[in-house]
Chains A and B, each alone.
Chain A
Amino acid sequence: MISELLINAFLVTIMLSIAIALIKTRTVIFTVILTSAYSLVAALMFITLDAVDVAFTEASVGAGISTILFLAAMAYLPQTEEESISSEFIPVLSCIILGGILIWCSFDLPEIGQLTAPIHQHVAPEYIKGSKEDIGIPNIVTSVLASYRGYDTFGETIVVFTAGVAVLALLEKKNTTKKNKSQPKQKIRKNA
């Protein structure tokens, strides 16, 4: 059991190092690769935490499709990130304060894997007991997703459809302004 937790701690530390590398890098291609690696290590962590469905969704959607989207967008964008002129003091300070508060609160959280934790007490046992008779398939995650919470999944498809329509509307070619900083074309944008 302790080995399982050790593997977990190791993987999550790898994720921390990838995130720190993401802060350091200023090259767009490295950013995309590091994001993909981050998702992949997260998928590994989901396997060790018993969430196999989430793991293969994260590996295919988070590490696959997201990376393809980033690479496709990257082809039209500047390849390096400029150094910021403004100070980063206030964002760093607010992040440190918020993180400190969260870590302080984490001492009240139950340890990982406790059977007595509140999350395992209320409705979860009912789903585990009842899903075989109600739905008739062995995978509880599937039966909750597609049957008990079918309306949620329907709403999710609506969200994805709306996002797709919005992307198409945004990328529609209206003006011929392509990397042109001249004044008249910006006036067109203002008046439109």
Chain B
Amino acid sequence: MRVVFKTSYDSDIDLHEHRGKRVVTGMLIAFMAALPFFVGDYYLAEATNTLIWALAGMGLMLLVGHSGQVSLGHAAFLAIGAYTDAVLMGAGVPFLIAFPLAGIITGLFGAFVAIPAVRLSGIYLAIATLALFVIIEECIILLAPITGGVGGIFAPAIEIFGVSFDRYAALSNFYWLVLGVVILVTWGYANAMRSATGRSFLAVRDSEVSARMLGINVTRTRSLAFGLSTGMTGLAGALMGHYIGFFNYELFSIFVSINLLLVVTIGGLGFIQGAFVGSILITVVPQLIAILRDTANASLGIDLSAIPGLDTMIFSVILIGFIIYEPSGLWGRWLKIRAWFELFPLARRDMFRRQKTYLKTERMR
């Protein structure tokens, strides 16, 4: 077992506990940056998609995992981000301005609608955000002159200082762009979580009454969490628009909201890493199902595509399994496995016996 000997308060403030972890992060970033050199376009596009999902997942993670609020309407914020970016760029605004603006506008909108919504909690908040989603969807259709309505809208090709970052013309560049955005956002997210801002989110999540007694303005903190969350989701939406190229409101269906919730719950509520693990799962499993379908068809002559809703069923089974057997998600499971190896052979079976299975805010109140 590794014992970290701490000699200053800074070692608790730093993002990485010890040098080993810093090296691992560095290697991971280097590997991700080098990815375009040794995988083909198909897998690179899939990796880009996964990163975009991870970005959106981080948005929802901040809300559900760290500030304890549920949202079933995050597809709407993806849509706002995508449309803001596409419309601004269509009007001739360069990407470098349109993209941050998409995040800021989505975030401000999210914080604004949160002011009434954060007074609700649990299932009521879920319903309110679901209603918001329906309203936004209708608005997109009604605002046809701007959004293209049912027909859809083009996300213009990205060009920064004459270099193309187009998803089709220059996929590697687009991938690096997405990777850069994801790294920056992750860094900012981790910073927020290690400072007073993050602690106020956790405080509001775990005990509202204590938070108030410590001088935390609960309504403002929750709105802030909503704003930051939707801001990140807006950025993801903008990138998703560019990734798809041509889209209409159907890209941001209720299933996208639900998939995002899957990302954060299966990944592990309350872990930034969980958003990444969850998004890998959510983008890889459909591919695996497709492969399974093909092999079943080719070798056994069973036509699985005749079964409608196979993907949904498999996802549902995975989700139910996690809720019952591992509420801390894939990342929580990984931490336990790692601890087992670190402590070997001293790990005990009931070491991780759950004291309290769910976060307070997950219970229906």
Check if A and B associate. Answer: no
Residues of chain B at the chain A interface (Cβ within 8 Å): none
Residues of chain A at the chain B interface (Cβ within 8 Å): none
